[in-house]
Amino acid sequence: MNRRQFLVGSTALSFGLAGFSHAQSAARALPLPPLMDLTGGIDGRVPLMLAPSNHDFGNGAISQTFGINSTYLGPVIRARQGQTLPFDVSNTIGEGVALHWHGLHIPGSVDGGPHQEIEDGATWSPDVPIVQHASMNWFHSHTHGKTARQTYNGLAGILLVEDDASLSADLPKTYGVDDFTLILQDKAFNGAGEMIYQLTGEVFEDGFQGETLVVNGAIAPLTQAVPSGLVRLRILNACNARFLTLSLATGPLSVIASDGGFLASTVDVESVLMSPGERYEVLVDMSSIQSNGLQVDLDGGDNEGGFLASLFGGGTTLTALTLTQNGDPGFQGSMPNRLANLSPPNRSEATVTRSFELQMDTGADLAALAFAWGNICGDGAMAINGQPMNMDRIDEEVRKGDKEIWRISVDDQLHPFHIHGCSFRILSQQGAAPPAYAQGWKDMVHVEEGWSEVLVRFDHQATAETPYMYHCHILEHEDCGMMGQFTVT
């Protein structure tokens, strides 16, 4: 955040603060998105219906949203390695939509990028092969120039991949009992309590930033009763632009998995910094405590810090979710040590190195680029290596099976970089080794000063007709052109 935004953001902020104090007084029940469990077998096609809806975030007002088989967000899809998922994605939201499977190792032809827009009234029927191991993935709008608003309005959901190892692992896995998925988002509400998406020409640099924390479509704080023993939280930062810092009220966070799968072993940390698009799985030990709180700092990536802190008198940390122990026995195993076989990434295996510079303002003419967005991008398009996203230009051509180093740098502020069609390992992040919890399989890397480097291999094909994307996952940056396209052949 920069100072300029503090001033222009002050009107929206006062709504948010009113929402906060109300919210902090009465905890709501954690909504459990319906589980669509396909691991036991699939009967016919799998419908995902994208439609406009009305949704109550828990403040009594009715907000206009988009839902996927629901009033807001989508189901939790649970599938198994080796399956092919026959989706029927139908769109009735009133405009075109592309729906991308973020994290899946799948060919470009079913990836759901901006070249695969589903017209209003149409249905897209990709057969999505699940070849990767157990991992927490998600799906969200990826419509050219409209990703930020459509995702904000509710076009997102979770796709869990399980494999033989994860299904037999000694871990909590009863959905809604000791295994929960949490979609964290920041929202703005107007004086009537309705969700709004508001950007001015001044705030494009930071993307959308709301002051109210929402979990699974309900305003925090939330509460959930759980059995004693270990409880598993599978967490997605689905904010458009905010980095979040997570911690527990009591004890360390025990991180067991990142974007692309299990870590080598459990990593205990005081806090986890999560960018938009990142996923982490954590275990909370409820065997000897009555309650514990998952805490979220909404200004996780803010180096200057202190803005909300000054308003709240010294702390920006909110309780997102309070777990209260109900005395049931629940999962009785112990905290796992070894989780997966993962050797450290070896940079000498790479045969190709590519460099990407993320750029905030190129001065390139937005009108000429036909962005749908008007003035949210400020004076000029954002870009990578001097080139704002262009649907008709392939930026990189990658050979299938090669190991490559991708080196990403920025000219300022913190950006979360994402690559389609793969999982990678982080070699360095901002010039140093990444924190232990980010040393496993990832598809997101933080980029700030200096550069970050990842070691990546692409195993599936993407042609010029349906190329893969790489981009900043601050969705307003993506929409404003901080994105490129590549093929894998």
Q: Which residues bind Cu ion (CB under 5 A)?
A: 102, 415, 420, 472, 474, 477
**Among ligand C2O, Cu ion, none, residue 142 binds (CB under 5-8 Å by kind):** ligand C2O
Is there binding between residue 115 and ligand C2O (CB under 6 A)?
no
Binding mask 396-435 for ligand C2O (x = CB under 6 A): ----------------------x-x---------------
- Determine if 158 is a binding residue for ligand C2O (CB under 6 A): no
Q: Which of 350, 233, 208, 239 is nearest to 286 (CA)?
A: 233
Give residues with Cβ within 8 angstroms of 86, minimum separation 6: 42, 44, 45, 46, 125, 127, 128
The set of residues, in sequence order, having a beta carbon less than 8 Å from that of 42 and lying 6+ positions away, is: 83, 85, 86
458 near 101, Cβ under 8 Å? no
Which tokens sit at 141? 């709008």
Q: Are 319 and 294 in contact (CB under 8 A)?
A: yes
- Output the smallest distance, CB 126 to Cu ion, in A: 14
* 471 touches ligand C2O by CB under 6 A: yes
140 interacts with, out of ligand C2O, Cu ion, none, CB within 5 to 8 A per kind = ligand C2O
Residue number with CB closer to ligand C2O (133 or 471): 471
Minimum distance from CB of 172 to ligand C2O (Å)?
27
146 binding ligand C2O? (CB under 6 A) = no
Question: Token pair of 66, please?
Answer: 């988009």
Query: Considering only 230-238, 332-340, 355-363, 467-475, which stretch makes contact with ligand C2O by CB under 6 A?
Result: 467-475
- Write down the residue that tokens 């496993």 correspond to: 440
Place of tokens 């008198």: 313
Partner in contact with 149, chosen from ligand C2O, Cu ion, none, beta carbon below 5 to 8 Å by kind: none
Residues in CB range of 215: below 8 A, 6 or more apart: 30, 31, 182, 183, 184, 185, 222, 320, 321
Looking at the DSSP assignment, which residues form a beta bridge with residue 88?
47
Query: Any contact of residue 157 with ligand C2O (CB under 6 A)?
Result: no
Residue number, 146 or 418, with CB nearest to ligand C2O = 418
Quote the CA–CA distance of 188 and 209 in Å, as a whole number: 8
Q: What share of the chain is helix, strand, coil (3-state, %, to 5)?
A: 15, 40, 45
Q: Which pairing describes strands 279-285 and 230-237: parallel, antiparallel, or unpaired?
A: antiparallel
Beta bridge partners of 5: none
Q: By CB under 6 A, is residue 142 in contact with ligand C2O?
A: yes
For residues 77 to 106, the per-residue mask of contacts with ligand C2O, x marking binding by CB under 6 A and - elsewhere, is: -----------------------x-x----
Those residues whose C-beta lies under 8 Å from the C-beta of residue 348, and which sit 6 or more positions away, are none
Task: State which residue, 226 or 410, has the beta carbon closest to ligand C2O.
Answer: 410
Q: Is 140 in the site for ligand C2O (CB under 6 A)?
A: yes
Q: Tell me which residue of 48, 285, 281 sits closest to 182, measured CA to CA.
A: 281
Nearer to Cu ion, 200 or 291 (CB): 200
Stretch that binds ligand C2O, among 10-18, 63-71, 181-189, 469-477 (CB under 6 A): 469-477
Q: Within 10 A of 179 (CB to CB), how many other CB atoms are there?
A: 20
Q: How far is the CB of 102 from ligand C2O (least distance, A)?
A: 4
Cβ proximity to ligand C2O, 75 vs 277, nearer residue: 277
**φ, ψ dihedrals at 237, nearest 5°:** -90, 105
Instruction: Choose the one of ligand C2O, Cu ion, none that binds residue 415, judging by a C-beta under 5 to 8 angstroms depending on kind.
Output: Cu ion
Stretch that binds ligand C2O, among 123-131, 202-210, 433-441, 466-474 (CB under 6 A): 466-474
Which stretch of DSSP H or E encloses residue 164?
Answer: helix 164-168
Query: Could you say which of 469, 474, 480, 488 contacts ligand C2O (CB under 6 A)?
Result: 469
Helix or strand (DSSP H, E) at 309:
helix 307-311
**Peptide bond just before 221 cis, omega within 30 deg:** yes
Task: Report if residue 484 touches ligand C2O, rule: CB under 6 A.
Answer: no
Q: Which residue is nearest to Cu ion (CB)?
A: 472
CB of 410 to Cu ion, least distance (A): 8
Q: Does 279 help bind ligand C2O (rule: CB under 6 A)? A: no
Residue 144 makes contact with ligand C2O by CB under 6 A:
no
CA angle 437, 223, 151 (to 5 degrees): 65
Binding region for ligand C2O (CB under 6 A)? 100, 102, 140, 142, 277, 418, 420, 469, 471, 473
